[in-house]
Amino acid sequence: MAGFFTKKETQSKSRPDGKTYSCYSCGLYKNAKNAKMQPVGEFKKEILIIGSYPTQTDDRENTLWLDKDGRFLKKTLKKFDIDIYEDCLSINAVNCYPADNKVTNFEIDSCRFVMVRKIIMDYQPKVVILLGQDALYSFLGQRTSFSLGDMDKWRGWVIPDKDFKTFVCPVYSPGMVLSNKTVELITIWENDLEQALKQVSEPWPSFKKPDIHIIDNLEVLDTIQSGVVAFDYETTGLKPQAPGHRIICASVAIDENTVYAFLLKNRKQSAPFHRLLKNPQVSKMAHNMKFEDTWTTDRLKFDVVNWGWDSMQAAHILDNRQGICGLKFQTYVNFGVVDYSSEITPYLRSAKGGNEINTIHKLLETPAKTELLLTYCGLDSVYQFRLSVLQQKIMDYDFLPF
């Protein structure tokens, strides 16, 4: 399936140490009574459950959910009229019993290549429920350009994953809930499961492909005399004050689908963009507006007029968990786009860290790389526009003029 893995993963079936992702290199099958346990369940409601690994009892009996964690999960699902064996299909991130009752990322990676990926593609579930950290890594590991973090930032989201066209619902593992058994935690877990199960009857959302216009003549921006835009910069570093830093390119989204992306070459060429930013009749949005505001003031030598919305701040207001406010994370959990930046991200990071100049200039060496950069910049603006619209609807905030 196109898009299931990022370019990085499809090109790394062999690890640097020479090991390939395979049952042989993983080796867990050697000590399992029932190696490579097959999926369990009749799948009547097209729900796929991904757990961590089979227990010793599961391995002995060649089925799943036989221990106390499994019984707890089955009992909870019954509250919502879901029979785990009739309505669901169940697999694990690793499908051979690990004798020491823990698994490594390499073992999860191996099982994903050998088994898990194929099951998801063959069955095409409506809903995928990820039980805990191992399941989360199995589904998302190496697909994202941002750090996964822990389950605390993932639980509760209903993600319309575009690669699979399935609703992905991460929840705490039943073992974690049992080991930290509190009324609050059980309530959170049950609410998350209930929300996930409701997605079976939900229609698949429709998202238009962004219409990205890469332009050199910026006069089209002079036609924008009112309304709302979202804009974004790609720069040589984090802060503009150090010598040598500059804004390389910018993009302006005029709605949820249409965006203009362009290099900033000189003041004459950039004049229509400058006039747009100064226009008090046009409200501006950004994801972390402090970044664009600071770079505009320091490098373009004027202030942005009429800031209207900061989608990063709104994300924090709506959900104050750590690690969830970044645009790439918000784009995935809300719109299902798992990665649009992995080819660009290395050029935006300085090898020395801090505010050192990055290597973004290398993307200007060929037209193809420049187009890649401008496309990425354009997607940033489109997705922050879409996110702002969604946030304002959730918050019932009357800002957008439509």
Residue pair 341/327 in contact by the 8 Å Cβ criterion: no
Q: CA-to-CA distance for 162 and 150, rounded, in angstroms?
A: 22
346 pLDDT higher than 50: yes
What is the tens place of the pLDDT at every residue in 289-345? Answer: 999 999 999 999 999 999 999 999 999 999 999 999 999 999 999 999 999 999 999
What is the tens place of the pLDDT at every residue in 238-296? Answer: 999 989 999 999 999 999 999 999 999 999 999 999 999 999 999 999 999 999 999 99
Q: Where do we find the tokens 């690990």?
A: 98
pLDDT attached to residue 283: 96
Residue pair 232/286 in contact by the 8 Å Cβ criterion: yes
25 pLDDT higher than 70: yes
Structure tokens at 328: 């790439």
Instruction: Return the higher-pLDDT residue of 318 and 7.
Output: 318
pTM for this model (two decimals): 0.93
Checking DSSP bridges between strand 258-263 and strand 211-214, what pairing results, if any?
parallel
Average pLDDT over residues 352-374: 93
Q: CA-to-CA distance for 351 and 258, rounded, in angstroms?
A: 34
Q: CA-to-CA distance for 391 and 287, rounded, in angstroms?
A: 12
Alpha helices in 180-326 (DSSP H): 183-198, 267-278, 289-295, 311-318
pLDDT attached to residue 351: 77
List 51's β-bridge partners, or say none: 92
Domains and CATH numbers, the chain: 7-201 (3.40.470.10), 211-394 (3.30.420.10)
183 pLDDT higher than 50: yes
**In percent, how much of the chain has pLDDT > 70?**
94
Banded pLDDT at 7 (limits 50, 70, 90): very low
Q: CA-to-CA distance for 208 and 335, rounded, in angstroms?
A: 11
166 pLDDT higher than 50: yes
pLDDT attached to residue 6: 42
Average pLDDT over residues 44-48: 98
Residue pair 58/67 in contact by the 8 Å Cβ criterion: yes
Q: CA-to-CA distance for 258 and 295, rounded, in angstroms?
A: 24
- Cα 349–chain centre separation: 19
Banded pLDDT at 11 (limits 50, 70, 90): very low
Strand, helix or coil at 51?
A: strand
